Structure 1
Amino acid sequence: MMAERTEGFELIMREGVDPATAPHKPPLPPRDYACWQEDGLLIERNVEVPMRDGIRILVDIYRPADRPDRDLPILLGWSPYGKHGLSDTLWPPSGVEKGWMSRFTAFEAPDPAFWCANGYAVVFADPRGAWLSEGDLRHNGIGEGEDCYDCIEFLAQLDWSNGKVGMIGVSYLAAIQYLVASLRPPHLAAINPWEGFSDWYREFAYHGGIRETGFVPRGSDNLRFSLNRTEDTNRNVLAHPLYDDYWRSKEIDLGAIDVPAYVVASWSDQGLHTRGTIEAWRRMASNPKWLEIHGQKKWAHFYMPSSRAKQKAFFDHFLRGLDSGLDEWPPVLVEVRESAHVRHTRAEEEWPLARTDYRPLYLDAASASLSAMPVPSEAAAAYDPCDEAGEAVFDYRFEEDTELTGYMKLKLWVEAEAADDMDLFVAIQKRDADGSPVGFHFYAFYDDGPAALGWLRASHRELDADKSTPWQPVHTHLRERKLAAGEIVPVEIEIWPSSTLFRQGETLRVVIKGLDIYRDALPNLPFARHEDLRNRGRHVIHTGGRYDSHLLVPAIPPTAP
């Protein structure tokens, strides 16, 4: 481990691991430039791209073999996962069907076989310090944004390019688009971020101030293959538990983004991409911009033919100047879910929906229920936060069909017995009319997940008054306010956005625990986990009377037939 002084903080770096030893990857090709034709593609491997400081990174370029020298628009996929890591399959639970990807497809990236056949060039980059590219690897931040900027401008000047570059991809390949688009490279013509977080602290590393201990260290290790040094993301996260200059160095000026944008989010990435993708769309200044929010498995949704057709229509318009029907696209498409496999899509004009009717449902610990009216009598529910069985549960049975689409907020009055802090985990669940659980798609693999999730460490309860709204609390995470013995305090927990239709007789359930609620896939689950907890003693939830604990829900009035 080594530290590098950066303005306001010490950036922790580490020596890279020999790229040729990376597990679960195809053999690493040699560093030499190569060019050949294969399956209708003209492929150039290890093209050198100079950065503004003289460092050279390597990219692979795919062009249609039958027309490689014509004016081609370019789609850039940028990630540190290895441009040589190509495959025509993903894990079976992902739902990606045979034939949706060719063997030339990099992870979470566009498929060159499809795009080249439709008149595009596709470029995969190994960023600075990744694999065989020169320099030290930095994990996002302005430096990586500037490198991506330089790459875009280099590609646009190639003699076979039409001068228009677009970006597309999932997760890392989406988040980098926000970063570089905010710098406004002249030849970046359009972006299509497909599920990518935009707030490093709140969405990636510390959920409600509780450190994420599963994806962050695993993701950090995926970036260690380098001939030089790499940023040690996991150690940096450990070193910065509060919001400080390290996190500010990862901030993105989303309001500076003005390039046309087709942004796709999902309800299913609770704990990673759901919140940040939607927030990026809300804040970017792009005109036009479109938002689509689905509830399906993210990789399947990205590669399915209907999604690829929309991607093509978007880029055909902005990179090729074709009339591809975008005038008919609504600004927002929302998928309303009844379950993982029952859903419908509806066009909207804005997000959040202007007609939202925010309704409080009051918690009653005496009956383990929620009520549309304030609860007059005080009561308390207690549980052991260190026991997987310990929880507080509150149910609300709907008397008529009700759609909840948007942001929820859970206000609780809480007490920690024999402790000065408490970690609160919240799940919004659905039960059918018979009381059986109703599951939803969760991350890329599962169909038994929650409607939505929320988290908060009680000592991080301080709100940012400028950023918070009555329906979306935003916490500062600048300091900790520990609990005194016997102290009962109000906390407001942000529940990540969702869309769920409850039929008459079905139930919304609020589950509150002291640890991760969805744990079936431990220890190798691909979604957020939190093991660095502060719980001990008992958690007490106070309700009724003076304690107006409630769930604020976004009810959507039915539209006229």
Structure 2
Amino acid sequence: MSFEYRYRDRRNTVEERGGRPVQPRIEHHPGIIVHRDVAVPTRSGKIVWADLFLPADGAIAPAIASWTPYGKSNPAPIGKRFPRSGVRDDQLSDLVSFEAPDPAYWVPQGYAVIAADMTGMWNSTGPAHFMAPEEAEDYYDLIEWIGTQPWCSGKVGLSGVSYLTVSQWRVAELNPPHLACINPWEGWTDTYREVARHGGIPETSFWPYIWDRWGVAQPGSLLEDLEAEDAEHPWFDEYWASKAAQLEKITVPAFVTASWTDHGLHTRGTLEGFRRISSAQKWLFVHGRKKWAEYYLPENLERQKAFFDRFLKDVPNEVDEWPPVRVEVRNDHYDGAVRESTDWPLPDVEYLPLYLGPTGALSEEVPLESGTVEYDGNAAGLTAQRAVFEHIFTADTDVVGHARALLHVEAPEAEDMDLFLAVFKKRADGTVVGFPYYALFDNGAAALGWLRVSHREKDEQKSLPYLPVLKHERALPLEKGRPTEVEVEILPSGTHFAAGESLVLVIQGVDVFRYPEGLLQKAHTHYVNEGPQIIHYGPATPSRLVIPRMPVSTRLPEEGLR
């Protein structure tokens, strides 16, 4: 590696976060024997502390494991663990830790459940590395330890949400011999592009919050200093490459779940994870709802169980007949229909350009005359401080997949500019649909996109016709005296538009959504904007939004989401 890790002290002791020192002990629960604080050694000399939840009858069982920075014995009440998320207090047992499988469900189904504190965190010894190769090696050693225990059948599966999925991607690329399958449930794969720098714009709310939350350890433990490293590595380099999953190396069966609602955190990475892994047996489910509630929803637990039964117990079942891809196409808030397909992106999608034009039009035809729309690059919230364009559908249309905007932009008083794009659905009566968003909110857009214009250089080897991938290796200033052409990735979404309903594109210089401080959210506050921003359109500067439209003739029959 050409970079050097930076380290910091813990932010909180285990006791300050409500935990306790290591106390090996056995607990008895109905049908479950719990072995608390079992020491698992790693090749690096660290100790992973794990809790084992085993069938009380002593049956040998396959194992479902999770690897967490949040505390395997997280003592927070369930209502505080999953605020505003749709997870009810009575839905989970007291045995479950944050974003992890609930042993009270899985052990009676004939599984052993293992919850482990990642190395360096809580009581596990360190140093702690995050999204890193060293961490993946430690997780590998845990999996191999589990697979060789006398109570284990020799097969291990992985499950869990968010970071518990991020760690799945990283360890699965190492292909531990006892790893039989994975169930990634919404987790990023490229830390720079998907979490820390949206379109090159630094994220200044969730990213600083999360590295502080990952700060619980025993005195003397060292944690990777993500704050210092983030400041030292503003561009994508070997440091950030070490925090991006090598997805093509993954070969185990995978049941991948993504959502349209985690733009700026998990949506892009989860879908890229499914697309790029080399697993011969893989399935994708994409919903438009809140990730924690969907993970613990009884219907989805049954799908997870079918998957684990198939690959951990070798039980022939319906999984082999599952369609490779199921996606929810949202009509309104918590109202959608599932579509089945053979692949992601959906192979029957066609990419339709909608051209920006006068009077805020989005049209399938390039406007005959050139024009501009101007707004204050540092202002937000009012129509006069953003550019707004609208396309009214004349026939029922599903928009499912990757969109992108090709824009001709100008900032006469600046050398750089930040662009924030949002796609909304407007009903025929003129009201805007608010969709679930970022696990907590209910007023989200259909899709979001971002770009710091100086980061616009594309990686032609990694980019696809529908998916621009930026290099993030050097700054390219705005062109002087003329518009600069840029391509903005708009994250995948799935939305149904009935005839008479509208797609609305908003372009502005600051975040489209800004929530009160103290709420878990994505935000950007370090802008480069100065003065007005100008969007050009017309024959010489054909700014356009390219949407993934599903032809009506190939739409599948309606079916309920559940």
Same topology, TM > 0.5 = yes
Partners of 1:216 and 1:234 within 8 A in 2: no
Q: TM-score, normalised by structure 2?
A: 0.95
* CA apart distance, 1:58: 0.5
* CA apart distance, 1:188: 0.4
1:242 to 224, 235, 239: 235
Q: Which residue of 2 aligns with 1:496?
A: 491
Distance 2:222 2:280 in 1: 39
Partners of 2:236 and 2:473 within 8 A in 1: yes
2:256 to 263, 285, 288: 263
Distance 2:501 2:178 in 1: 51
> Which range moves more in the overlay, 469-478 or 288-297?
469-478
> Which range moves more in the overlay, 432-441 or 483-492?
483-492
- Partner SS, residue 398 of structure 2: strand
**Does 2:98 correspond to 1:103?**
no
Partners of 1:416 and 1:486 within 8 A in 2: no
**Does 2:368 correspond to 1:368?**
no
Change (3 A) 1:18 1:443: closer
Corresponding letter in the other structure for 1:35: I
1:14-163, aligned counterparts within 5 Å?
A: 14-23=8-17, 27-65=18-56, 67=57, 69-86=58-75, 87-89=77-79, 90-163=81-154
Q: Which residue of 2 aligns with 1:525?
A: 519
- Partner SS, residue 554 of structure 1: strand
Partners of 1:406 and 1:499 within 8 A in 2: yes
**Does 2:386 correspond to 1:391?**
yes
Partners of 1:412 and 1:542 within 8 A in 2: yes
- Partner SS, residue 553 of structure 1: strand
1:510 to 487, 505, 521: 505
Partners of 2:182 and 2:252 within 8 A in 1: yes
Distance 1:88 1:470 in 2: 44
Q: Which residue of 2 aligns with 1:325?
A: 318
- Partner SS, residue 478 of structure 2: coil
- Partner SS, residue 20 of structure 1: coil
**Does 2:418 correspond to 1:423?**
yes
Q: Which residue of 1 aligns with 2:4?
A: 10
- Partner SS, residue 117 of structure 1: helix
Q: CA RMSD in A?
A: 1.3
Identity of paired residues, percent? 44
Distance 1:338 1:176 in 2: 33
> Which range moves more in the overlay, 249-258 or 522-531?
522-531
* CA apart distance, 1:353: 1.3
* CA apart distance, 1:251: 2.5
- Partner SS, residue 268 of structure 2: helix
Q: Which residue of 2 aligns with 1:334?
A: 327
- Partner SS, residue 5 of structure 2: strand
| Structure 1: runs of 5 or more not aligned | 1-6
Q: Deviations over 1:407-443 (max 9, x none)?
A: 1010100001211000000000011001111111112
Partners of 1:271 and 1:527 within 8 A in 2: no
Q: Between Structure 1 and Structure 2, how many residues are aligned?
A: 548
Partners of 1:381 and 1:542 within 8 A in 2: yes
Q: Which residue of 2 aligns with 1:3?
A: none
| Structure 2: runs of 5 or more not aligned | 558-562
Q: Deviations over 1:345-390 (max 9, x none)?
A: 12111111111111100001x3111111011211001111111232
Q: Deviations over 1:120-177 (max 9, x none)?
A: 1111111111011112111121101100000000011111110111000100011111
1:378-457, aligned counterparts within 5 Å?
A: 378-388=370-380, 389=382, 390-457=385-452
- Partner SS, residue 301 of structure 1: helix
Q: Which residue of 2 aligns with 1:216?
A: 207
* CA apart distance, 1:88: 4.1
Q: Deviations over 1:297-338 (max 9, x none)?
A: 111100010000001111011111112311221100010111
Distance 1:18 1:419 in 2: 43
Change (3 A) 1:128 1:497: same
Q: TM-score, normalised by structure 1?
A: 0.95
Q: Deviations over 1:78-100 (max 9, x none)?
A: 11111110554444521113432
